[in-house]
């Protein structure tokens, strides 16, 4: 099952996730943010840095199960009140990869990042 699903996931990351993250990186850098992208076979992440430390992370992670592909988001942030780093599951599930666009991914990142910024 995994061998059959891997090309679908690889295409999803290469044609949708990576381009969305690259465009977000360019936009965030216009506002003086340092942005790092991390890419591997089962997850891709975009990390926003303060001048010297981690601020916000957004990851799209894939799992292959007996039921098929499960792709979900994870959000990581530092709470400015207590200084602790938190991980939460994102609100979106991108498991139907054929219907997801890079714009969907970028919009979901923006929604999650705005929620983080408003909480500051």
Mean pLDDT, residues 5-30: 92
> What is the secondary structure of the chain as a DSSP string?
-HHHHHHHHHHHIIIIIHHHHHHHHHHHHHTT-EEEEEE-SSEEEEEEE-SSSEEEEEEEEEEEETTEEEEEEEEEEE-TTT--EEEEEEEEE---TTT--HHHHHHHHHHHHHHHHHH-
Q: Is the pLDDT of residue 118 over 90?
A: no
Q: Which residue has the higher pLDDT, 13 or 8?
A: 13
Q: Is the pLDDT of residue 50 over 70?
A: yes
Mean pLDDT, residues 29-44: 92
pLDDT of residue 43: 92
Domain assignment of residue 33, given as a range: 2-119
In angstroms, the CA 47 to CA 43 distance is: 13
Domain count of the fold of the chain: 1
pLDDT of residue 52: 75
pLDDT of residue 3: 59
Mean pLDDT, residues 76-99: 85
Q: Is the pLDDT of residue 68 over 80?
A: no
């Amino acid at each position: 099952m995994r061998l059959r699903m891997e090309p679908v996931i690889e295409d999803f990351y290469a044609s949708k996730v990576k381009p969305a993250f690259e465009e977000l990186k360019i936009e965030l850098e216009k506002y003086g943010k340092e942005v790092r992208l991390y890419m591997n076979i089962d997850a891709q992440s975009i990390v926003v840095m303060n001048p010297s430390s981690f601020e916000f992370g957004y990851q799209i992670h894939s799992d292959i199960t007996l039921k098929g592909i499960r792709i979900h988001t994870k959000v990581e942030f530092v709470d400015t009140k207590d200084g602790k780093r938190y991980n939460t599951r994102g609100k979106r599930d991108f498991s139907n990869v054929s219907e997801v666009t890079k714009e969907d991914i970028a919009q979901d990142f923006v929604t999650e990042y705005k929620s983080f910024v408003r909480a500051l």
